[in-house]
Structure 1
C-alpha cells in the first residue's frame, strides 16, 4: 500500500513539474500588456525555429486533429530599448491585430495579402500618432532603428513571426524622411491642399477606389508637390516621390482615428496587391515538352501540368484576383513556349489550383480580393476566411495584357457570402479554416 501511495505521489509530482514547466515557457499576451513594455530590456526568444524568407515554405500537410489550442507565446515579455519616441500603447489594439495577422507559422503563407499590408499600416499609424505631439513626420536614423526593433519585439511577444522585417522588406530607413525634402507638419500643410486630401481619403471605398483611384490620385498629387519643393526638375519615377508618399500617409493617419486610418491604408494596399501575381514560376520545360505543338498524349500533358501546379501550390495563399493574374501570366509564358492549346480547359484547371491547398481533399484556398484579417477565438483558434465560391475556371489568355485590379466588371466574388442563420466552420460558399501550428512549423488546417 505504501509503495502504491509512493508511485501515485511520484506521478503527481512529475505531472506538476510538467505543468509548471509549460507555464514557465508559455504566456498569452494581450494588448493591455503593451503599456508595461517600455521600461524593460530587450529579451525575446521565438517558440519555433526561424523561417528564412528566401527559403521555400515547409510542405502543406492536411491533418485531422483536435480543436486548436489557445495560442501561447513566450512568457518573457520583451524589454524595449528605452530610446524610442513612438507611443505603442496608443495603437495597442492595432498591434494586437497585426500580431494575429502575422501569426508565427502562418505569416510566410499570408505575407503578401494579409500580414505585410497590416504591418505597414500599423507602422504608418504609429508615425501619424507621433507627429501629433512632435510636429514631425519622421524619425532620425537612431530613433528609427530602436523603434522598429521595439515594434518587432512587441509583436513577437504576442505571437507574431520573428522575421517580419525580412518577410515584409521593412528597414529602419522606412521610418525616416528618406529623400523627401518636406517632413514636418507645418511645412507639409503649407504646401499640400489638405482639405482635398482629406475629402478624397477620409474614407475609401475598397471596390471603387481600385478602379477610380480617387484617394490614390490625391496622395500622388500631394507627394509630387512636396517632392518638388526646392527643385524644378523631378522625373515621374523618382524614388523621392515614393518617399514622399510615406510622408503623406503619415500625415493622413494623424487626422483619422487609428481604426479608420487602418481601413483606409488596407484598402489602398489591396489595390496594389491585386494588380499582380506574387508566385514564383519555375521552368515550364516539362509542360512544353508534353503540351507543345500538337498534343499527342492528353494524359501526359495534364500530368505535366499537375506536377507544375504542385510547385505553385506550396508557396502562399493568394486572392482570387491574384489567381486570375497568375493564370494569365502562366498562360502567356506557355504560349511563348509554343503551347497553343488551351491546356486550362483541356486539364480542367481552376483558379484555386494556383493557391496553397487546404484540407484532406486538397482544395485551393483563395482569399477574398477585399481586405481580410486572420481571426482568433477560443473555440476555433487561429483561422482565416477562404473564398470558395464555386470552381471558377482559369482563363486561357487571348491577349498579352494582365487583368487589372479594378474588379467592378470582373465576375469574381469580392467577399465570401454568409448568412446570420449559418453557424459553425462552414459558411455558404465560404469556409473559415482554423489552423493548428506545431513546433515543426507545419501548417495544419482543420476542416
Structure 2
C-alpha cells in the first residue's frame, strides 16, 4: 500500500507535511468515497468512524507504517463524519450540485496549472457553498461549515473517480496548499543577529552563526523546492527586521537545499511524489535535481506568500 510506504515508521515525522499526511488523508477520502457507492452516504457515524480509523491504522502499522499517524497528521474519527455539513446523501448532493461541471473541472487535474488558476479548487468551493446552504439561497454559511462540506465534495469525487485518479486529484490539490507555506519553525535568532547585524561584522563569525542556525532547520523535515523559497524569504525578512542588512545567503553560500532535512540537503519536487521501497536499496524518494540554487535574499519590498510559523 502506497500510504504505508509514504508513512514509513522512521520517516513519517520528517515527511509528514509533504508526503505522508497528504497521502494518509487522500486514502481516507477515497475509502469513504468508495464506501458511499454501496451506502449511499458520504460519511460515517461516530462509532463506525472510530472503528474504521482504528482498523486502517492497524493495517498500515502491519505494513511498517508509523504507529502514531493520528497525532502526526492530526487525524481524528470526527474527520470521517459529516461534521457540520448538512448534506451527506449522494442523491441529495447530486440534486444540489452541478455534477457534470464539478467533474469537468476536477476529473483530470492539471498539477502544474491548478495551483495558479484554481479551476478545480473554485469548483469545489462552489459545490461546498451550495451544500452548506442545503440547496437554498439562505444566509451564507460560516467558514467552518464550508470547510466541512469541502470534505464531502472530496469524498463525492472519490466516489465518481477510480481510486488512482482520485488519489492524483486529491494529492494535487493538497500540494497547492502545501507549497504556499514554509512549514519550518524558526528558533531564536539572537546569536545570529548579534554576529551578522552590523555592516562591518566579521564574515567568519557571521557565517558560523548562519551555518549553526541553518543546521537546526535541517533537523526538522523534508520540504519541497517551493517551500524552500518561502522559507528563505521568511527567514530573510525576519533577519532584515532584526537589522541584518547584508545578504548573508550570498555571503555564506546558503542554498535552497540547506533549508531541508539531512546534511547533503534534499528538496522534494513541488509536484506530488511518493516514497519507494525495495528490498535491495530500502526506502527512497525523489530529490529535486535543481536544488543547488542559491537562496534568494528578499528585496525590501518582497512579501512571501505566507509568513513562516511563529515561535
**Contact 1:295 1:301 (8 Å CA) reproduced:** no
Query: Which residue pairs with 1:16 in the alignment?
Result: none
**Contact 2:257 2:291 (8 Å CA) reproduced:** no
SS in 2 for 1:265: helix
Which of 388, 392, 395 matches 2:293?
392
For structure 2, the residue ranges without an aligned partner over 5 or more in a row are 307-311
> Offset of 1:352 from its aligned partner?
0.6
Query: Which residue pairs with 1:401 in the alignment?
Result: 303
Query: Which residue pairs with 1:303 in the alignment?
Result: 208
**Contact 1:326 1:354 (8 Å CA) reproduced:** yes
Describe how 1:119-268 pairs up with structure 2 within 5 A. 119-229=24-134, 232-234=138-140, 238-268=143-173
Counterpart-to-counterpart distance in 1, 2:257 and 2:239: 19
> Offset of 1:363 from its aligned partner?
1.4
> Offset of 1:403 from its aligned partner?
4.8
Which of 189, 204, 219 matches 1:284?
189
Give the CA RMSD over aligned residues. 1.3
Query: Which residue pairs with 1:320 in the alignment?
Result: 225
**Contact 1:324 1:403 (8 Å CA) reproduced:** no
Query: Which residue pairs with 1:85 in the alignment?
Result: none
> Offset of 1:234 from its aligned partner?
2.7
Query: Which residue pairs with 2:175 in the alignment?
Result: 270
TM-score (norm 2): 0.95
> Offset of 1:239 from its aligned partner?
0.4
> Offset of 1:191 from its aligned partner?
0.5
Describe how 1:22-101 pairs up with structure 2 within 5 A. 96-101=1-6
> Offset of 1:379 from its aligned partner?
2.4
Counterpart-to-counterpart distance in 2, 1:364 and 1:118: 23
SS in 2 for 1:233: coil
SS in 2 for 1:183: coil
Which of 303, 325, 340 matches 2:245?
340
SS in 1 for 2:286: strand
When you count strand as a share of all residues, which structure comes out higher?
Answer: 1
Distance 1:231 1:146, change over 3 A: farther
Residues 195-224 of structure 1, C-alpha deviations (whole Å, 9 max, x = no match):
000000001011111111111110011001
Counterpart-to-counterpart distance in 2, 1:370 and 1:390: 14
TM-score (norm 1): 0.67
**Contact 2:276 2:284 (8 Å CA) reproduced:** yes
Which of 255, 264, 278 matches 1:350?
255
Query: Which residue pairs with 1:83 in the alignment?
Result: none
**Contact 2:225 2:291 (8 Å CA) reproduced:** no
**Contact 2:268 2:288 (8 Å CA) reproduced:** yes
Query: Which residue pairs with 2:309 in the alignment?
Result: none
Counterpart-to-counterpart distance in 2, 1:383 and 1:296: 42
Query: Which residue pairs with 1:370 in the alignment?
Result: 271
**Contact 2:256 2:291 (8 Å CA) reproduced:** no
Residues 25-66 of structure 1, C-alpha deviations (whole Å, 9 max, x = no match):
xxxxxxxxxxxxxxxxxxxxxxxxxxxxxxxxxxxxxxxxxx
Over alpha carbons, which structure has the higher Rg? Answer: 1
